[in-house]
Structure 1
């Protein structure tokens, strides 16, 4: 099953994001084929990241939550909130 990790940054947390970006990217790359897509949400003016969307394959919600909790961004306290939602990739799924 696929899960969308919808993460919203805390206000004024750009420094935390920058300081932990490399570790975050290494963590996501370390997920291998379990990671389906990832990237930041952007401010309306397209200048600043405001959160993250991470699509992961997981056996269940608890496994997806573990991925979210182990992310260096989460460990550094970047996120105000993290929503985990099951997701069905219907269109343009390269694995379908």
Structure 2
């Protein structure tokens, strides 16, 4: 199953994001190598600066998706104000369809 992980950064935490970014990218590269990561990227504010994240993950179930998301170095650094995880059906332009 696929799960969308929607994360909103805490206000005024861009420095936390930038300091943690190398570890976050390393973590994403590992998920990508395992075939777990399908899509990833930041949300941008009106000034074009990152203010959140969106990941599309493959997991067996919601609990599995939560466990994966909890391992994000951004989450461990306290960057996120909110994290929402939703089951997702990739209908259009899915390269695996």
- Structure 1, unpaired ranges of 5+: none
Give the secondary-structure state (helix, strand or coil) at the position aligned to 2:74.
Answer: helix
Which whole-Å CA distance do the structure 2 matches of 1:44 and 1:61 have between them? Answer: 32
Q: Distance in 1 between matches of 2:46 and 2:93?
A: 26
How many residues matched?
95
Q: Which runs of 5+ in 2 are unaligned?
A: none
The match for 1:57 is 58
TM-score (norm 1): 0.96
Runs of at least 4 residues off by over 4 Å: none
Alignment of 1:23-62 (within 5 A): 23-31=23-31, 32=33, 33-46=35-48, 48-62=49-63
Question: Taking structure 2 as the reference length, what is the TM-score of the superposition?
Answer: 0.95
- State the Cα RMSD in Å: 0.7
The equivalent residue for 1:8 is: 8
